[in-house]
Protein backbone atom coordinates (compact mmCIF):
# COMPACT_ATOMS: atom_id res chain seq x y z
CA UNK A 1 0.00 0.00 0.00
CA UNK A 2 1.38 3.42 -0.91
CA UNK A 3 1.55 6.29 1.54
CA UNK A 4 -1.19 8.29 -0.19
CA UNK A 5 -3.83 5.58 0.14
CA UNK A 6 -2.81 4.85 3.70
CA UNK A 7 -3.34 8.54 4.53
CA UNK A 8 -6.75 8.45 2.83
CA UNK A 9 -7.78 5.46 4.95
CA UNK A 10 -6.72 7.30 8.09
CA UNK A 11 -8.70 10.38 7.05
CA UNK A 12 -11.70 8.17 6.29
CA UNK A 13 -11.44 6.57 9.75
CA UNK A 14 -11.24 9.99 11.40
CA UNK A 15 -14.15 11.27 9.25
CA UNK A 16 -11.96 14.08 7.90
CA UNK A 17 -11.67 12.88 4.31
CA UNK A 18 -12.46 15.32 1.52
CA UNK A 19 -14.91 14.58 -1.30
CA UNK A 20 -12.00 14.24 -3.72
CA UNK A 21 -10.13 11.97 -1.32
CA UNK A 22 -13.21 9.81 -0.81
CA UNK A 23 -13.52 9.34 -4.57
CA UNK A 24 -9.84 8.39 -4.89
CA UNK A 25 -10.10 5.94 -1.99
CA UNK A 26 -13.27 4.37 -3.39
CA UNK A 27 -11.68 3.93 -6.83
CA UNK A 28 -8.58 2.36 -5.27
CA UNK A 29 -10.56 -0.08 -3.11
CA UNK A 30 -12.76 -1.16 -6.01
CA UNK A 31 -9.81 -1.64 -8.38
CA UNK A 32 -8.38 -4.78 -6.75
CA UNK A 33 -9.33 -7.39 -4.15
CA UNK A 34 -5.94 -6.96 -2.45
CA UNK A 35 -6.67 -3.27 -2.02
CA UNK A 36 -9.96 -4.11 -0.33
CA UNK A 37 -8.15 -6.51 2.01
CA UNK A 38 -5.52 -3.88 2.82
CA UNK A 39 -8.27 -1.36 3.53
CA UNK A 40 -10.00 -3.72 5.97
CA UNK A 41 -6.74 -4.63 7.71
CA UNK A 42 -5.73 -1.01 8.14
CA UNK A 43 -9.13 -0.09 9.53
CA UNK A 44 -8.76 -2.95 12.00
CA UNK A 45 -5.44 -1.55 13.27
CA UNK A 46 -6.85 1.95 13.54
CA UNK A 47 -9.82 0.67 15.53
CA UNK A 48 -7.53 -1.36 17.77
CA UNK A 49 -5.23 1.59 18.42
CA UNK A 50 -8.14 3.75 19.53
CA UNK A 51 -8.61 1.54 22.56
CA UNK A 52 -5.25 2.45 24.09
CA UNK A 53 -3.80 5.66 25.66
CA UNK A 54 -1.46 7.96 23.75
CA UNK A 55 1.10 8.82 26.44
CA UNK A 56 4.83 8.21 26.23
CA UNK A 57 4.70 6.15 29.42
CA UNK A 58 2.27 3.72 27.84
CA UNK A 59 3.80 3.61 24.37
CA UNK A 60 5.39 0.18 24.81
CA UNK A 61 2.13 -1.12 26.22
CA UNK A 62 0.26 0.21 23.19
CA UNK A 63 2.71 -1.45 20.85
CA UNK A 64 2.29 -4.78 22.59
CA UNK A 65 -1.50 -4.52 22.68
CA UNK A 66 -1.78 -3.80 18.98
CA UNK A 67 0.81 -6.39 18.00
CA UNK A 68 -1.01 -9.07 19.99
CA UNK A 69 -4.01 -8.63 17.68
CA UNK A 70 -1.96 -9.28 14.56
CA UNK A 71 -1.98 -12.71 12.91
CA UNK A 72 1.43 -14.31 12.44
CA UNK A 73 0.97 -14.64 8.69
CA UNK A 74 0.64 -10.88 8.26
CA UNK A 75 2.81 -9.75 11.16
CA UNK A 76 5.41 -7.83 9.16
CA UNK A 77 2.81 -5.83 7.28
CA UNK A 78 0.63 -5.31 10.33
CA UNK A 79 3.53 -4.15 12.51
CA UNK A 80 4.49 -1.62 9.85
CA UNK A 81 0.96 -0.23 9.98
CA UNK A 82 0.96 -0.33 13.76
CA UNK A 83 4.26 1.56 13.89
CA UNK A 84 2.69 4.33 11.84
CA UNK A 85 -0.23 4.40 14.25
CA UNK A 86 2.09 4.70 17.24
CA UNK A 87 3.84 7.65 15.64
CA UNK A 88 0.48 9.32 15.14
CA UNK A 89 -0.47 8.61 18.74
CA UNK A 90 2.77 10.11 20.01
CA UNK A 91 2.26 13.21 17.89
CA UNK A 92 -1.24 13.59 19.24
CA UNK A 93 0.18 13.49 22.77
CA UNK A 94 2.44 16.42 21.91
CA UNK A 95 -0.57 18.53 21.02
CA UNK A 96 -1.34 18.74 24.69
CA UNK A 97 -3.69 17.27 27.24
CA UNK A 98 -6.26 20.01 26.70
CA UNK A 99 -6.72 19.04 23.05
CA UNK A 100 -7.16 15.39 23.96
CA UNK A 101 -9.71 16.27 26.62
CA UNK A 102 -11.63 18.34 24.12
CA UNK A 103 -11.73 15.49 21.61
CA UNK A 104 -12.86 13.03 24.25
CA UNK A 105 -15.84 15.08 25.36
CA UNK A 106 -19.09 13.42 24.52
CA UNK A 107 -21.55 15.44 22.49
CA UNK A 108 -24.80 15.97 24.36
CA UNK A 109 -27.97 15.69 22.29
CA UNK A 110 -31.48 16.95 22.71
CA UNK A 111 -34.06 14.37 21.59
CA UNK A 112 -37.73 15.29 21.21
CA UNK A 113 -40.26 12.58 20.38
CA UNK A 114 -43.99 12.67 19.80
CA UNK A 115 -46.13 9.64 20.42
CA UNK A 116 -49.05 8.86 18.11
CA UNK A 117 -51.87 11.35 18.61
CA UNK A 118 -49.53 14.18 19.63
CA UNK A 119 -48.02 17.10 17.71
CA UNK A 120 -45.66 19.80 19.00
CA UNK A 121 -44.03 23.12 18.11
CA UNK A 122 -40.34 23.46 19.01
CA UNK A 123 -38.08 26.51 19.00
CA UNK A 124 -34.45 25.60 18.34
CA UNK A 125 -31.52 27.44 19.96
CA UNK A 126 -31.07 29.55 16.77
CA UNK A 127 -34.78 30.55 16.92
CA UNK A 128 -35.74 28.34 13.97
CA UNK A 129 -39.12 26.65 14.45
CA UNK A 130 -39.92 22.96 14.02
CA UNK A 131 -43.48 21.64 13.84
CA UNK A 132 -43.18 17.97 14.72
CA UNK A 133 -45.82 15.52 13.51
CA UNK A 134 -47.27 12.69 15.58
CA UNK A 135 -45.16 9.54 15.71
CA UNK A 136 -42.01 11.55 14.90
CA UNK A 137 -38.77 12.57 16.58
CA UNK A 138 -35.81 14.93 16.09
CA UNK A 139 -32.31 14.92 17.52
CA UNK A 140 -29.75 17.74 17.55
CA UNK A 141 -26.61 18.85 19.35
CA UNK A 142 -27.86 20.43 22.56
CA UNK A 143 -25.49 23.39 22.21
CA UNK A 144 -26.40 23.85 18.53
CA UNK A 145 -23.36 26.10 18.26
CA UNK A 146 -21.24 24.52 15.53
CA UNK A 147 -19.68 27.47 13.66
CA UNK A 148 -20.01 25.73 10.29
CA UNK A 149 -23.46 24.12 10.22
CA UNK A 150 -26.73 23.38 12.01
CA UNK A 151 -27.64 19.70 11.90
CA UNK A 152 -30.86 17.92 12.84
CA UNK A 153 -31.76 14.25 12.46
CA UNK A 154 -35.41 13.48 11.73
CA UNK A 155 -37.47 10.34 11.92
CA UNK A 156 -41.05 10.87 10.81
CA UNK A 157 -42.42 14.19 9.59
CA UNK A 158 -41.69 17.82 10.41
CA UNK A 159 -42.20 21.30 8.99
CA UNK A 160 -39.22 23.65 9.36
CA UNK A 161 -39.16 27.45 9.47
CA UNK A 162 -35.43 28.12 9.34
CA UNK A 163 -33.81 31.39 10.42
CA UNK A 164 -31.47 32.60 7.66
CA UNK A 165 -27.75 32.28 8.39
CA UNK A 166 -25.52 32.40 5.31
CA UNK A 167 -22.52 31.22 7.34
CA UNK A 168 -24.23 28.17 8.86
CA UNK A 169 -26.35 26.02 6.54
CA UNK A 170 -29.22 24.11 8.12
CA UNK A 171 -29.11 20.37 7.35
CA UNK A 172 -31.80 17.78 8.00
CA UNK A 173 -30.65 14.16 7.96
CA UNK A 174 -33.45 11.68 7.22
CA UNK A 175 -31.58 8.42 6.99
CA UNK A 176 -29.55 8.57 3.77
CA UNK A 177 -31.41 11.64 2.47
CA UNK A 178 -30.04 15.08 3.35
CA UNK A 179 -31.84 18.41 2.98
CA UNK A 180 -29.74 21.58 3.06
CA UNK A 181 -30.94 25.19 3.32
CA UNK A 182 -29.71 28.57 4.50
CA UNK A 183 -33.08 29.95 5.52
CA UNK A 184 -36.47 28.85 4.25
CA UNK A 185 -39.60 26.85 5.11
CA UNK A 186 -40.11 23.27 3.99
CA UNK A 187 -41.69 19.96 4.94
CA UNK A 188 -39.87 16.63 5.26
CA UNK A 189 -41.83 13.39 5.48
CA UNK A 190 -39.59 10.43 6.28
CA UNK A 191 -41.49 7.63 7.99
CA UNK A 192 -39.58 4.34 7.69
CA UNK A 193 -42.73 2.39 6.84
CA UNK A 194 -43.32 4.55 3.75
CA UNK A 195 -39.98 3.54 2.15
CA UNK A 196 -39.46 7.03 0.76
CA UNK A 197 -38.57 10.54 1.84
CA UNK A 198 -40.59 13.49 0.56
CA UNK A 199 -39.16 17.01 0.68
CA UNK A 200 -41.62 19.81 -0.13
CA UNK A 201 -40.67 23.50 -0.28
CA UNK A 202 -43.01 26.21 0.98
CA UNK A 203 -40.62 29.16 0.60
CA UNK A 204 -36.99 29.77 -0.36
CA UNK A 205 -34.67 27.22 -1.97
CA UNK A 206 -33.67 23.75 -0.80
CA UNK A 207 -30.96 21.35 -1.94
CA UNK A 208 -31.51 17.59 -1.60
CA UNK A 209 -28.78 14.95 -1.71
CA UNK A 210 -28.42 11.27 -0.85
CA UNK A 211 -25.54 9.31 0.65
CA UNK A 212 -24.69 6.22 -1.40
CA UNK A 213 -21.76 3.93 -0.53
CA UNK A 214 -20.18 6.66 1.56
CA UNK A 215 -20.48 9.24 -1.21
CA UNK A 216 -22.68 12.31 -1.21
CA UNK A 217 -24.74 12.52 -4.40
CA UNK A 218 -26.57 15.74 -5.14
CA UNK A 219 -30.07 15.21 -6.55
CA UNK A 220 -31.85 18.51 -7.15
CA UNK A 221 -32.66 22.01 -5.97
CA UNK A 222 -36.28 22.75 -5.10
CA UNK A 223 -38.18 26.04 -5.04
CA UNK A 224 -41.69 26.78 -3.68
CA UNK A 225 -44.44 24.28 -4.56
CA UNK A 226 -41.96 21.64 -5.68
CA UNK A 227 -41.47 18.21 -4.15
CA UNK A 228 -38.82 15.52 -4.41
CA UNK A 229 -39.71 11.96 -3.45
CA UNK A 230 -36.63 9.78 -2.85
CA UNK A 231 -36.31 6.04 -2.28
CA UNK A 232 -33.35 5.82 0.16
CA UNK A 233 -32.60 2.20 -0.71
CA UNK A 234 -32.52 2.40 -4.51
CA UNK A 235 -31.60 6.07 -4.83
CA UNK A 236 -34.41 6.56 -7.35
CA UNK A 237 -36.34 9.81 -7.09
CA UNK A 238 -39.19 11.69 -8.73
CA UNK A 239 -39.94 15.39 -9.04
CA UNK A 240 -43.36 17.03 -9.00
CA UNK A 241 -45.20 20.35 -8.67
CA UNK A 242 -47.93 20.62 -6.03
CA UNK A 243 -49.55 22.88 -3.48
CA UNK A 244 -46.96 22.98 -0.67
CA UNK A 245 -49.45 24.64 1.69
CA UNK A 246 -51.76 21.66 1.34
CA UNK A 247 -48.90 19.20 1.85
CA UNK A 248 -48.00 20.80 5.18
CA UNK A 249 -51.55 21.60 6.29
CA UNK A 250 -51.25 18.92 8.98
CA UNK A 251 -49.65 21.53 11.23
CA UNK A 252 -52.94 23.47 11.05
CA UNK A 253 -54.72 20.31 12.23
CA UNK A 254 -55.94 19.31 8.78
CA UNK A 255 -55.75 15.74 7.51
CA UNK A 256 -54.81 15.64 3.84
CA UNK A 257 -54.39 12.66 1.53
CA UNK A 258 -52.84 13.38 -1.88
CA UNK A 259 -53.04 10.30 -4.09
CA UNK A 260 -52.43 8.23 -0.96
CA UNK A 261 -52.88 4.47 -1.01
CA UNK A 262 -55.29 2.86 1.43
CA UNK A 263 -52.27 1.47 3.25
CA UNK A 264 -50.73 4.96 3.60
CA UNK A 265 -54.07 6.30 4.82
CA UNK A 266 -54.18 3.58 7.44
CA UNK A 267 -50.72 4.50 8.73
CA UNK A 268 -51.70 8.18 8.86
CA UNK A 269 -54.83 7.39 10.86
CA UNK A 270 -52.73 5.41 13.32
CA UNK A 271 -50.55 8.44 13.93
CA UNK A 272 -53.38 10.98 14.05
CA UNK A 273 -55.74 9.01 16.31
CA UNK A 274 -53.32 6.75 18.19
CA UNK A 275 -55.22 3.69 17.07
CA UNK A 276 -54.24 0.39 15.44
CA UNK A 277 -55.57 -0.04 11.88
CA UNK A 278 -56.33 -3.54 10.61
CA UNK A 279 -57.41 -4.39 7.04
CA UNK A 280 -59.57 -7.42 6.32
CA UNK A 281 -57.75 -7.79 2.99
CA UNK A 282 -54.14 -6.59 3.55
CA UNK A 283 -53.18 -7.26 -0.08
CA UNK A 284 -55.91 -4.98 -1.43
CA UNK A 285 -54.61 -1.61 -0.21
CA UNK A 286 -53.04 -0.08 -3.32
CA UNK A 287 -56.04 2.04 -4.37
CA UNK A 288 -55.19 5.76 -4.19
CA UNK A 289 -57.39 8.56 -2.89
CA UNK A 290 -57.29 12.31 -2.50
CA UNK A 291 -59.24 13.84 0.37
CA UNK A 292 -58.95 16.65 2.88
CA UNK A 293 -60.52 16.90 6.33
CA UNK A 294 -60.50 19.18 9.30
CA UNK A 295 -59.54 17.18 12.35
CA UNK A 296 -62.83 15.54 13.33
CA UNK A 297 -63.77 12.51 15.46
CA UNK A 298 -62.56 9.28 13.90
CA UNK A 299 -66.02 7.82 13.34
CA UNK A 300 -67.10 10.92 11.39
CA UNK A 301 -64.02 10.78 9.19
CA UNK A 302 -64.52 7.05 8.58
CA UNK A 303 -68.17 7.56 7.63
CA UNK A 304 -66.98 9.79 4.80
CA UNK A 305 -64.08 7.51 3.85
CA UNK A 306 -66.45 4.55 3.70
CA UNK A 307 -68.48 6.35 1.04
CA UNK A 308 -65.32 7.29 -0.86
CA UNK A 309 -63.74 3.83 -0.80
CA UNK A 310 -66.78 1.54 -0.65
CA UNK A 311 -65.30 0.03 2.51
CA UNK A 312 -67.01 -0.63 5.83
CA UNK A 313 -65.41 -0.28 9.23
CA UNK A 314 -65.77 -0.90 12.96
CA UNK A 315 -63.91 0.38 16.02
CA UNK A 316 -63.17 -2.17 18.73
CA UNK A 317 -60.77 -1.93 21.68
CA UNK A 318 -58.65 0.84 20.14
CA UNK A 319 -58.56 -1.01 16.80
CA UNK A 320 -59.96 0.42 13.59
CA UNK A 321 -60.98 -2.58 11.50
CA UNK A 322 -61.50 -1.76 7.82
CA UNK A 323 -63.29 -4.18 5.54
CA UNK A 324 -61.65 -3.29 2.24
CA UNK A 325 -62.66 -6.27 0.11
CA UNK A 326 -64.68 -3.93 -2.11
CA UNK A 327 -61.96 -1.32 -2.28
CA UNK A 328 -62.41 0.93 -5.28
CA UNK A 329 -60.80 4.10 -6.53
CA UNK A 330 -63.05 7.10 -7.05
CA UNK A 331 -62.60 10.69 -8.16
CA UNK A 332 -60.96 13.03 -5.62
CA UNK A 333 -63.23 13.95 -2.73
CA UNK A 334 -62.82 16.84 -0.36
CA UNK A 335 -64.45 17.55 2.96
Considering the four listed CATH numbers 2.60.120.1440, 2.40.30.110, 1.20.810.10, 2.170.120.12, the one that applies to the domain covering 109-246 is 2.60.120.1440
Residue 122 and residue 119: Cα distance in Å, rounded? Answer: 10
Structure-model confidence comparison of residues 76 and 324, the more confident one:
324
pLDDT at 279 over 50: yes
Inter-axis angle of helices 19-31 and 3-13, to 10 degrees?
120
Q: Where are the beta strands (DSSP E) in 133-249?
A: 137-141, 150-161, 170-174, 177-181, 185-190, 197-203, 206-212, 215-222, 226-230, 237-241
Q: How confident is the model at residue 304 (pLDDT cuts 50, 70, 90)?
A: very high
pLDDT of residue 313: 95
Burial of residue 106 (CB within 10 Å: 0-12, 13-18, 19+) is: exposed
Q: Helix or strand or coil: residue 307? A: helix
Domain ranges of the chain: 3-103, 109-246, 253-323
In tens, the pLDDT along 61-118 reads 544 554 455 444 454 555 455 555 544 554 444 444 444 455 445 778 999 999 999 9
pLDDT tens for residues 104-134? 457 789 999 999 999 999 999 999 999 999 9
- CA distance to 70, 121, 242, per residue, from 160 (Å): 50, 10, 18
Mean pLDDT score across all residues of the chain? 82
Q: Tell me what pLDDT residue 53 has.
A: 44
- pLDDT (0 to 100) of residue 33: 79
Task: Report the range of poorest mean pLDDT among 15-19, 38-42, 46-50, 111-115.
Answer: 46-50
pLDDT of residue 301: 96
More confident residue, 317 or 27: 317
Q: Could you give the 3-state DSSP secondary structure of residue 182?
A: coil
> What are the residues whose beta carbons fall under 8 Å from the beta carbon of 186, sequence distance 6 or more?
159, 160, 162, 179, 199, 200, 201, 202, 203, 204, 206, 222
Q: What percent of the chain has pLDDT over 90?
A: 50
Quote helix, strand, coil % in the chain, to nearest 5. Answer: 35, 30, 35
Per-residue pLDDT at 177 exceeds 80: yes
Q: What CATH fold (topology level) applies to the domain 253-323?
A: Phage tail protein beta-alpha-beta fold (3.55.50)
Q: Which residues contact 103 (CB under 8 A, 6 or more apart)?
A: none
| DSSP H or E segment with residue 315 | strand 312-316
Assign residue 117 a region (left: φ > 0; alpha: ψ between -120 and 50; beta: otherwise).
left
Per-residue model confidence as pLDDT tens digits over 235-252: 899 999 999 999 999 999
User: Does the structure show a pLDDT above 90 at 206?
Assistant: yes
Amino acid sequence: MDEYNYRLIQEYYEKKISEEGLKDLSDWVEADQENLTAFRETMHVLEASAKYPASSADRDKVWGSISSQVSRNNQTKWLAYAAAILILLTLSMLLGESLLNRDQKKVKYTIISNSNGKQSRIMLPDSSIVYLQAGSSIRYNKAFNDPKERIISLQGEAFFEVIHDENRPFIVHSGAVNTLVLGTSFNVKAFKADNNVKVTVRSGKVGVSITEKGKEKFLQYLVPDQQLSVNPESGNYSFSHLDAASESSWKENKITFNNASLQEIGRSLERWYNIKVVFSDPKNTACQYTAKFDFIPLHQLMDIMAQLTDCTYSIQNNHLIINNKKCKQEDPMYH
